[in-house]
Amino acid sequence: MYVGTLSFDLLLGDVRSLKEKRSVVRPIIAELQRKYPVSVAEVGDQNIHRRALIGLATVSGDAGHVSDVLDRCERLVAARPEVELLSVRRRFHGDED
């Protein structure tokens, strides 16, 4: 079994309230869940209106599949024009961990 995780640190564009923040973050989370076999949630910076920390995880019996899914998810988030991707933290856990 292989587990891959990503943590996205995002800077949101012209957001002035937590309600506006939700209107930016929720569609990103929904699109990731719809397109890929992943679990996604906002995992930090919930009370800061211009920042978001999104966590993502996927599990597979094939290490290549996990890596491919993580790559695609990272490209999707990086391509969103309404956010600036400040950093991505990737973790990979295999059978020997």
Model confidence pLDDT, tens digit, residues 48-59: 889 999 999 999
pLDDT in tens, 63-83: 999 999 999 999 999 999 999
- Judged against a pLDDT cut of 70, whether residue 97 lies above it is answered with no
Amino acid residing at 83: V
- Judged against a pLDDT cut of 80, whether residue 45 lies above it is answered with no
* Size of the chain in residues: 97
- Note the pLDDT of residue 60: 94
- Note the pLDDT of residue 79: 95
Helix 18-35 vs helix 63-78: crossing angle, to nearest 10: 140
| Average pLDDT of every residue of the chain | 93
